[in-house]
Amino acid sequence: MTTIDAPLPTSTTVPHRHELLSTETPGPLPPPEFLGDTPSDALSEMLLLLERSNQNSLQLSVSEIKAARERMVELQRQLADELKRALDAARKSQHKKKGWFSRTFGKVIDAVAKVVGKQAELTHDLVKLQVDLAVSLGKNFRDGEALFQSMRNDLLELSESSETEQAVEGFTAGTVKFMGDVAAFQFVLVAALAEKAAQGDALRDALADQAEKLWHSAETNVLDNPDFWTVTERIAQGAAVASAVASGGALAPVAVGLILALEADNRFGYLDAAFKENARWVRIGLNIAAAACAGGSSNQVLKWTQIAVSAVDGAGSVYHGVKAAQEADRQADEIDRQADTQETLYQIQETQRLIETLIDLYEEKSDHRTRSVESSVRLVEAQGEIQAALVLQG
Amino acid sequence: MHIPANDRVTPPTLEYYVEARDGFSGDPASELAALLIDHVRESRQLNRDQTRLEEEHLRFVQAAQVKQLRSEADELREAGRAKAFGMIVGGSLTVASGVALGGAGRETHWSKGFDGGAKGAHGGGELIASEHELHAGRARARSTEYEHQAGESKRRLDDLSDARSYSRNLERTAFDHLEKVQEAQAATDKAQTSWRG
């Protein structure tokens, strides 16, 4: 049997991307070139052609698998880059510098704020306790056991920490820390002014880091502090009540009465019981009426308090608007990154399926080739044996 | 993924193959094996066509899913901008209202106008933002729908792959049987030749 030469690598197409296979699919395999001796009989010639065809086909499969693997490596690198970008973005969003004052005296301020919060809460609770006890007495006047139980509950609530305490605590801590950081910044500013004036350097470089820390301190302690806004809102309400009283106008008692009615509703929810599903409309009406009656103040101090509160409120709204835009951008960027990652993952899965199919195809071709070679060997052996028998018969 | 349409594993039908197949006529098991091989060849080609179509469908729904995700991101960005614009304008008008109040010493048309404008800006921003958020939600729902379709498509591809593997085993068994028959025939021929000799 004639020896079979290795196939020429130039006869195969190496795709750079697997999509190219659709347009560059080699049709019938090119006829193999005979290197060396050409077999004389037709059977050997046919077997040789078959074997070369099989080899070329296998070579093509190997090239395609290699190309797909290269594509896979490239996609995996791309995925790693995308994941790194997502991680960097997550780290960047968490990074926030604290001011020097907040860092150094943070725990002391928290402790002081707790005391202030407790004090405010105690005052608030003692007033509330008297009202609650009076209500309990009225409700359970004839039932001694129920009265005792109700009074015990009212007293137990006094020892528990409540929303007011937490809000005052958060407000105090945030404000004190921020004011401390402002003082620290002023100190650094004076020192830097003196130093840079002596050296003649730019002041901006020295203060850039401190200014950034101060801004982050403002964000953490004031702007992003919900307790600050809760207390500011209460101050605004208090100013409105005081303003109505101080105005001495005819509407003052009405305004105070309306605000007290609202406060009583906050505490006991009697509007829900009285007006059922219309309670929220009544509540809105009371709020509007109270605001309208409290608006006509003439007291200067309270007026300036209202102005200051509206200025702070407006500034807070602007700040939260900017933050809302930033947050929306951050969310949108995150979803965009998810889409990128998803797309790359799909491409990887697609390439993986392509590789599996190509390997499957390679196995089939290899199986077919083995079977073909075995058949050829058997055929040639049978032919030889028949020829030998014919010679013997002679 | 593209699987070449004309990259057949089994070589095209040749005369010698037809002759060899006809040589098995008479033996029912061998005839059945030969028919099975023909059937497997056809069904494999059919399977490959189906796989190609399914791959195209899968690629389409996955691309659509990614597109919807990007659309959701754009809508969320727009919603945030609308809300932010409303809040910034509203906040500025609130400050202006306070300044007007301080300047006049009492409530004026200006301060009331600013105050009303602030509330209007807030409301307008929220309204536009909610419209964009609605679109974002719909895009998210469509994306999930495409994701489920992609999952179905993948399951169908798995089924096709299993069918391909099964038909391959079937073909191998049929070939083994025919080989054995052929070997038995060859042994008989050889014995007859020797006996005649």
Res A137 pLDDT > 70: no
Residues of A whose CB is below 8 A from B93: 314
* A311-331 average pLDDT score: 86
Give 3-state DSSP helix, strand, coil % of chain A, rounded to 5.
85, 0, 15
Q: A307 and B73 in contact by Cβ < 8 A? A: no
Q: Which of A328, A338, A322, A86 is nearest to B136 (CA)?
A: A328
Res A55 pLDDT > 80: yes
Q: Is A328's Cβ below 8 Å from some Cβ in B?
A: yes
Q: Which of A347, A331, A343, A329 is nearest to B66 (CA)?
A: A343
Percent of chain A predicted with pLDDT > 70: 38
* pLDDT given for residue A367 in this prediction: 84
Measured in angstroms, the CA of A266 and the nearest CA of chain B are apart by 24
Q: B11 and A351 in contact by Cβ < 8 A? A: no
Is B13 in contact with B22 (CB distance < 8 Å)?
no
Q: Which of B141, B126, B124, B119 is nearest to B80 (CA)?
A: B126
- pLDDT confidence tier of residue A239, bands split at 50, 70 and 90: low
Q: Is A324's Cβ below 8 Å from some Cβ in B?
A: yes
- B94: nearest CB among A22, A314, A361: A314
Q: Which residue of chain A comes nearest to B140, CA vs CA?
A: A335
What is the count of residue pairs from A and B with beta carbons less than 8 Å apart? 160
Q: B1 and A338 in contact by Cβ < 8 A? A: no
Among A21-30, A145-154, A203-212, A224-233, name the most confident range.
A224-233
User: What is the ipTM metric for this complex?
Assistant: 0.76
Residues of A whose CB is below 8 A from B73: 331-333, 335-336, 339
Q: Which residue of chain A comes nearest to B10, CA vs CA?
A: A368
* pLDDT given for residue A22 in this prediction: 40
Q: Is B191's Cβ below 8 Å from some Cβ in A?
A: no
Res A61 pLDDT > 70: yes
- pLDDT confidence tier of residue A368, bands split at 50, 70 and 90: confident
Q: Is A318's Cβ below 8 Å from some Cβ in B?
A: yes
Interface test with A, best of B13, B71, B83, B87 (most A CBs within 10 A): B87
pTM of the full structure: 0.55
